[in-house]
Structure 1
Amino acid sequence: MLKIAWHPIYQHPLPEGHRFPMIKYDLLPKQLLYEGTCSEANFFRPEIPDTSYILNVHTQEYVDDLFHLTLNPRAARKTGFPLSKELVEREIIIADGTMKGTEFALEHGIAFNIAGGTHHAYTDHGEGFCLLHDQAIAARYLQEKGLASQILIVDLDVHQGNGTAEIFADDNTVFTFSMHGRTNYPFKKEISDLDIPLEDKTDDETYLKLLKETLPDLISKVQPDFIFYLAGADVLETDKLGKLGMTLQGCKERDRFVLETCHQLQIPVQCSMGGGYSPEIKNIIEAHANTYRLAQEIYF
């Protein structure tokens, strides 16, 4: 059975001007239930995990400042959100959803987190709507539990996974792959194990050709026993924060290729949803819903 992390706190209310990024966390599960792609049995509710798992990735000083809301104003502004107890709790619970999702993925082949993909979080600070790095925390969780040893992170959000690259810069047990818009945020990129920067207006054909030429060979080289997939919907041509030229169908074919590749090679995969900022919310929901529909089709 497909298992999906979701919690009401994912919809954490924000002040006017900050609300848009949160809307999809309410609408996406409703859409999946309405159309019958999922039932209530597919969803599980994450909780507050042991802080030790977070400290496997983030520094004690940064975690203390987050938990006690003592981040300096400049560092807080860099996250893009007004800092609050509820927001920090939300990020902690998202991390737990991804951690627990890895165990479901080991059992069923695949698992999802409705939120997550917080790939701009560094070891010692947050950026770009990201406070804690859910997939990095979950990768360390797998390794600590002896459930995986060699991990591949496939980041297909339109923005480079700069936090991911920084966290695992000197770690050959986690391979970081980011395929992103060259001129998109972050403007100062980190160095992933493999970066593929894309030109503005990159279309479906160009994108998919590059991905299909890259991913199978990369998996063959890395030999991962677990894959994290960041399935950002901000690759769409309609996205107001992205600069690529992909259609909904192209985004769907991207997801199909990644999921079919993982399934055929029998490598468990945990999917976090990442960004999506098209002006019409229906485009974001459709792009994300396609990923879940494909998972049901391919795996179940």
Structure 2
Amino acid sequence: MLKIAFDPIYAHPLPEGHRFPMLKYELIPAQLLHEGVITPGNLFSPDALSEDIILKTHDGHYWHQLRDLTLPQKEQRSIGFPLSARLVEREIRIAKGTIDGCLLAFDNKIAFNVAGGTHHAGTNWGEGFCLLNDQAIAANYLLNNNLAISILIIDLDVHQGNGTAQIFENEPRVFTFSMHGANNFPSRKETSDLDIPLADGVEDEEYLNVLYDTLPKLITQQKPDFIFYLAGVDVLATDKLGKLALSKEGCKARDRFVFEQCIANKLPVQVSMGGGYSPQIRDIVEAHCNTYRVATDLYF
């Protein structure tokens, strides 16, 4: 059964006036339920993550400032959201949902987190709407509990996974792969194990050909036993914060190929949804829902 981490707090951690970016977290499961792609039994609500697990990835001083709501205003501005107890709770539940998804993926081959993909959070910083790095926390959890020995993180959000790259820069058991817009946020990139920066305006054919050529070779070379996939839909031509030009069908073909590679190589995969900032919320929700539709077709 496809298992999907979702909690109502994903959609409502912010004061009025800041909520548009969060609407998709409520609308994605609602649309999938409406279509019959999933039932309520596919959804689970994660608990809060324990502090000791957070501290395996994030610096103690930074975490304590988040926890105690004492993060300096300048650093809050870098995050992009006003800091609050509900926002911090949201982040720790997202991270727990990603860990839970990993454990479920060992049996089900795939699991989703409706939120997550908070790849701009580094060891001791947050930025770009990211406070804690859910997939980095989960990858360290797998390594620390001897549940994986070689991990591949496939980051196909339009923005480079700079926080993830920094966290694992000295960890040979985690290979970070980011394919992103070259001229997009963050302005200062970190160094992933493999970065593929793309020029502005890249469309479906060019994008997919690069992915088709890269990913199978990468899996063969790295021989991972677990995969994390960050499936941002800010690669769409409609996205106001992205500079690429994929169609919804191109984005769907991207997801299909990633999942086909996981299936062909018998690799469990945890999927976090990442960014999506098209002006029309229906474009964001439809593109994200396509990721679930493809997974359901291929796995179930």
Displacement of 1:77 in angstroms is: 1.1
Task: Give the letter for the 1:184 counterpart.
Answer: N
1:111-130 to structure 2, matched below 5 A, reads 111-130=111-130
Unaligned stretches of 5+ in structure 1? Answer: none
1:188-199 to structure 2, matched below 5 A, reads 188-199=188-199
The equivalent of 1:274 in structure 2 is 274
Displacement of 1:146 in angstroms is: 1.1
Displacement of 1:175 in angstroms is: 0.2
Unaligned stretches of 5+ in structure 2? Answer: none
1:7-26 to structure 2, matched below 5 A, reads 7-26=7-26
- What percentage of residue pairs aligned between the two structures are identical? 61
Q: How many equivalent pairs are there?
A: 300
The equivalent of 2:98 in structure 1 is 98
CA distance in 1, matches of 2:197, 2:235: 13
1:155 aligns with 2:145: no
The equivalent of 1:176 in structure 2 is 176
CA distance in 1, matches of 2:274, 2:158: 9
The equivalent of 2:203 in structure 1 is 203
Task: Give the letter for the 2:270 counterpart.
Answer: Q
Q: With the length of structure 1 as denominator, give the TM-score of the two structures.
A: 0.99
CA distance in 2, matches of 1:278, 1:16: 20
Displacement of 1:15 in angstroms is: 3.3
1:1-300 to structure 2, matched below 5 A, reads 1-300=1-300
Give the SS at the match of 1:111: strand
Task: Give the letter for the 1:22 counterpart.
Answer: M
Task: Give the letter for the 1:276 counterpart.
Answer: G
CA distance in 2, matches of 1:201, 1:56: 39
CA distance in 1, matches of 2:71, 2:249: 42
Displacement of 1:13 in angstroms is: 4.2
Displacement of 1:195 in angstroms is: 0.3
Displacement of 1:17 in angstroms is: 4.2
Q: With the length of structure 2 as denominator, give the TM-score of the two structures.
A: 0.99
Displacement of 1:261 in angstroms is: 0.7
Give the SS at the match of 1:227: strand
Displacement of 1:80 in angstroms is: 0.4
Cα-Cα RMSD = 0.7
CA distance in 1, matches of 2:117, 2:18: 18
Task: Give the letter for the 1:41 counterpart.
Answer: G
Give the SS at the match of 1:149: coil
CA distance in 1, matches of 2:282, 2:66: 33
CA distance in 1, matches of 2:100, 2:140: 12
Displacement of 1:12 in angstroms is: 1.9
CA contact 2:13–2:86 (8 Å) conserved in 1:
no
Task: Give the letter for the 1:54 counterpart.
Answer: I
